[in-house]
A and B are shown apart, each in its own frame.
Chain A
Amino acid sequence: MLNIHDLEKRWKVYKIKSFIPYVITIALLVIVSIAYILYNEVQKLAQQKELSKTKETKITIPLKKLKPTIENNRTKKATAIQTLKPSKGFMKKEQRVAITIERGETKNDVFEVVKRFRKSGDPALSLFVAKKYYELGDYKQAYNYALITNQINPDIEESWIIFAKTLVKLHKKNKAIYTLEEYIKVSHSSNAEILLHEIKSGKFQ
């Protein structure tokens, strides 16, 4: 005769044992998820800390001191750049860059973005740097960063436009026309067409 009670007990133990691997797997998944969330939180905090640090620097650096350094490269347009805000379309595309734009307009901010770009290789950042240099009148640097942006992502219209504009500013009008024509062939960009027309007609110099 079978000892059914003992057998039932053994069966219960077996069932509990057979669930252990599933419990371990679920527990591991939960731990990994928690660790991931915590890691993200720490990253966010570190970023916020970094932001607040830059803000502090901005306050402590007197604007007058910076002026002479910018002065050399500054054109008439550059003074207007001080109050310039990024276009809405650009903000829509890259929220992260928008934060940088809001907090300042000095060259120090550009260096900060350059630093971040070197770390992440994000074309939105290099485009921002190109635009910033363009606004500051440093066309060589603007050309370099627009070129880098085009190399990383050849589909950013704004980057090609900045690139062509810097070429014009660097007295390479023909190259700018050629570049825009080639770009229009691929993208059919109306903005590029407008700029091409302006360059050709001499409206943009």
Chain B
Amino acid sequence: MESIFTKSRDVFLDTINAKDYIQLDRVSTIYEALKESLRKPLKMVLLFGKPGSGKSMLLAKLYDELSEQNNIYLYQTPIVDENEFYKILVQDIFQIKYDGTLNFTQFMKITRDSVIKEVPIVLLDEAQLYAEPLLEKIRLLSDTRSIKFVITLHKTEKEDLIAKEHFQTRIWETFELENASNSELKIYIQKKLMKANCFDTANMFTPKIVDTIYKLTQGNYRETNKLLYTLFDIYSTYEKNMPNYPLNTVKIPKKFVEMAAIHTGLINA
């Protein structure tokens, strides 16, 4: 039988799966607003925030919920090659398999000639990784209103500039995702564990220990997942290799959190 600690550890595996989406008040509000914006005749919607603030997860959730009823496409990994980008889009949206090279003009012609009633929605994650010329074409494409783009960008000084130069005038709606607050982080951790029926370990997260975690991760979801994965990995290792070590599901020793933080690089030791 799988140990509670191993089970809890796997809960925090850093994967982008819509099923792992945790509903928090603030994120839910943004999510609903994002869904609403897709119903409006907007050219482009921007979702931005610091790395690990949950942009990719929100995009995955959006895709998961709307894919059955809407003409929606999600690209989590950037398609760096321009020709490849058009070919993949043509294949996915218009079901046209293109063997040769496909340039922007040809792609535009295809979109104009298409008989699709509903404007396709393209969700592009990590848009800051796209090359500048391709970003320019995406901007032009959105201008034609033949495709609606929802893009996510990292919020850093440099990447803000990219957003400014290529998208700002075309962006009709902007959503910013922020790191979790202390109380949100507690809800996030406990909901995540309870979703996997790890009730005992969920109760171990007292306000004091959450506060320690918050100080280390600043409420960043990715960092929190990494830290908690390592924390339960430490539990599992002690359980396996040192059966006499006093482990319980009442209180998390600060030592374990600090050890996890050292291992993940959150504490420099």
Contact = CB atoms under 8 A, between A and B. Distances in A.
A7 B137 CA distance: 50
A4 B241 contact: yes
Contacts of A4: 234, 237-238, 241-242
Given A2-B233, A2-B234, A17-B269, A11 B255 contact: yes
A174 B58 CA distance: 96
B237 A8 contact: no
Given A2-B233, A17-B269, A7 B262 contact: yes
Contact of A2 (B242, B255, B263): B263
Which are the 6 A-B pairs with shortest beta-carbon distances? A14-B269, A11-B259, A2-B237, A4-B237, A10-B269, A7-B259
7 contacts: A1-B237, A2-B234, A4-B242, A7-B234, A10-B259, A13-B269, A14-B269
Given A2-B263, A17-B269, A11 B234 contact: no
B238 A14 contact: no
Interface string B226-253: 0000100110011001100000000000
B159 interface: no
Interface of A: 1-2, 4, 7-8, 10-11, 13-15, 17
A15 B255 CA distance: 9
Contact of A10 (B233, B234, B238, B262): B262
B267 interface: yes
B258 interface: yes
Given A2-B263, A13-B269, 12 more contacts: A2-B230, A2-B233, A2-B234, A4-B238, A7-B234, A7-B263, A8-B259, A10-B259, A11-B255, A14-B267, A14-B269, A15-B258
Nearest to B268: A14
Nearest to A17: B269
Interface of B: 230, 233-234, 237-238, 241-242, 255, 258-259, 262-263, 267, 269
A2 to B, nearest CB: 5
A57 to B, nearest CB: 68
Given A2-B263, A4-B241, A11 B233 contact: no
Nearest to B267: A14
A1 to B, nearest CB: 7
Contacts of B238: 4
Contact of A14 (B237, B242, B258): B258
A2 B262 CA distance: 12
Nearest to B233: A2
Contacts of A11: 255, 258-259, 262, 269
A9 B32 CA distance: 48
A147 B14 CA distance: 85
A75 to B, nearest CB: 81
Contacts of B263: 2, 7
A4 B234 CA distance: 7
Contacts of A17: 269
A4 B262 CA distance: 12
A153 B259 CA distance: 65
A15 B258 CA distance: 9
Contacts of B233: 2
Contacts of B237: 1-2, 4
Nearest to B242: A4
A10 B241 CA distance: 19
A21 to B, nearest CB: 15
A4 to B, nearest CB: 5
A10 B267 CA distance: 10
A10 B230 CA distance: 15
Nearest to B241: A4
Nearest to B263: A7
A11 B242 CA distance: 18
